[in-house]
Amino acid sequence: MATIEECRAALDKLSDNLAGAAGDVRSAASLDRSLSCRITDLDTTFVGRLRDGRIEVLDTLAGPPREKAQIRLVMKGDDLVSMVNGELNFAKAWGSGRVKLEAGLRDLLRLRTLL
C-alpha cells in the first residue's frame, strides 16, 4: 500500500508532467480550478488548485474533503502512484471504476484530452 508521502510525491510528479506538456494536453491542464484527490485506503484527501498547468497541493486532510472542489479525484494510493508512473492507464482505470473523476461538464470535456 502506498504511503501518504508516496502519494504526495506522485501528485508532485504529475504536476511536473503537466507543466512540461505541450499542445492539447497543456491547454487542458491550463484550467484554474479547485482540486481534491481523495485516497480511500489512506483515508486522506489532498486539496489544492490546478492552475497554469500545475497542481498546487495546499493541504492534506484526514478523511473526506470538507468542501466540494471543482475537480474531484477518488482512488487508492497504489492506483495514483501506478498511473503517474505509467503502469496504469487512466482511461481504463476510470472506465472500470478504480478511479473516479468528477467535475462540471465543460471541465470534463477539457480534461478528456489528458486521458
3 state SS of 6? helix
Residue 114: per-residue pLDDT = 65
For position 28, what pLDDT does the model report? Answer: 67
98 three-class SS: coil
pLDDT higher than 90, residue 41: yes
**β strands within 1-115, DSSP E:** 33-39, 44-51, 54-62, 71-75, 100-103
Q: What is the pLDDT of residues 78-105, one digit of tens each?
A: 999 999 999 999 889 999 999 999 999 9
Q: Is the pLDDT of residue 26 over 70?
A: no
- Does residue 56 register a pLDDT over 90? yes
| pLDDT of 42 | 98
Residue 115 has pLDDT above 60, yes or no: no
